[in-house]
Amino acid sequence: MKKTVIIGKHSLPKWEINGIVEWVSGGPQEGGFYFPIPRGAHAVRLGNEASISQYVKVKPNTVYSLTFGSTRTCAQDEVLTVSAGGMSSDLNIQTLYSADGGDTYAWAFKSTSDLVKVTFRNPGIQEDPTCGPLIDHVAIKEMRMATYNKGNLVKNGGFELGPHVFKNFSTGVLVLPLKQDKYSPIPGWMVQFAKPAKYIDSKHFLVPSGNAAVELIGGRETGIAQIVRTIPKQFYNLTFTIGDAQNSCHGSMTVQAFAGKASTQVSFVSNGNGWYKTASFKFQADKTRTLIAFYNPYYHTKVHDFGHMCGPVIDDVSLVRVRT
């Protein structure tokens, strides 16, 4: 070590480093900075064009999701490049979604062999070389393929399949829009538009049923969707549950639900204390593939924490054919 800089390519246990990588402590820093490290006391900071890598044994031709804590350290555009299994994606981490900076992300890939190289890299787009993203806690999870439950045409409608959630501390797991990636950390679903959706678990949040749900935290810039098989001219009923996660998210909330060209809008007032209700609407399919989507048209924050973005929760999505 030279001050906080790690010296030696293999000096960070289990990891291989390239470029300037610092081992930093959480809390106030020189120059007025503050490093949020909610899990443990230390993290690594990646300098411009620096990276950390680790080889992981996996099953070939299998989808995995990475869950990792990451946040920016300066008020500039910061990007983190994540790669594994021959796939790569640039994640924009400029926006802080948790006031304490404890943002956690998920990213999915498909393995091509029994050994993959997982790499986190700072591409160095920011002007200040002393800036760079923090990496804190990394987990990998094998993803089960989403299948249909009897009577439901929506896969993974209860969001029980999803990325790993850290047990000791969680503000939810951010899943970024599926723009260029082929695989989603929430099997069966794709996040749309510009902002992430948040995957939440029942240990840290109130979810309507089961172990998990999705919170639409990015206002009109966030949506989740799935393409389902339908029969033209046949009628279907789309049912879903909405509410708040008992996380002090407040205000007049609205969820817009779409099924092809049909849509409905459900509104409720949240006090952030935990509440949910079920809604449904009937539509007639006009294609063999119908896009089911949910959007949140408004922005919300917590009652006493205006820096913490939040929104309505979606769970228990079900699509059934209506016999006429």
Q: Domains in the chain, ordered, with CATH?
A: 16-142 (2.60.120.260), 173-322 (2.60.120.260)
The yes-or-no verdict on residue 129 having pLDDT over 70 is no
Asked if 104 and 69 touch (Cβ cutoff 8 Å), the reply is yes
**Exposure string over 53-67, b if 16+ CB within 10 A, otherwise e:** ebebebeeebbbbbb
The more confident residue out of 308 and 270 is 270
The more confident residue out of 202 and 94 is 202
Q: Is 31 helix (H, G, I), strand (E, B) or coil?
A: helix
Beta-sheet strand order (sheet of 313-322)? 21-25, 42-46, 134-142, 63-71, 104-110, 173-175, 197-201, 212-215, 313-322, 235-244, 275-284
Structure tokens at 61: 């031709």
Q: Residue 221, class by beta-carbon neighbours within 10 Å (0-12 exposed, 13-18 middle, 19+ buried)?
A: middle
Q: pLDDT confidence of 78, banded at 50, 70, 90? A: confident
Q: pLDDT confidence of 32, banded at 50, 70, 90? A: low
pLDDT (average), residues 251-260: 96
What is the rounded average pLDDT for all residues in the chain? 91
At 28 the pLDDT is 62
The more confident residue out of 223 and 31 is 223
Round to whole Å and give the CA distance between 152 and 320.
6
Q: pLDDT confidence of 46, banded at 50, 70, 90? A: very high
DSSP assignment letter at 149: P
pLDDT (average), residues 6-15: 95
At 248 the pLDDT is 93
The yes-or-no verdict on residue 117 having pLDDT over 90 is yes
Could you read off the pLDDT of 163-217 as tens digits, one per residue?
Answer: 999 988 788 999 999 776 789 999 999 999 999 999 999 999 999 999 999 999 9
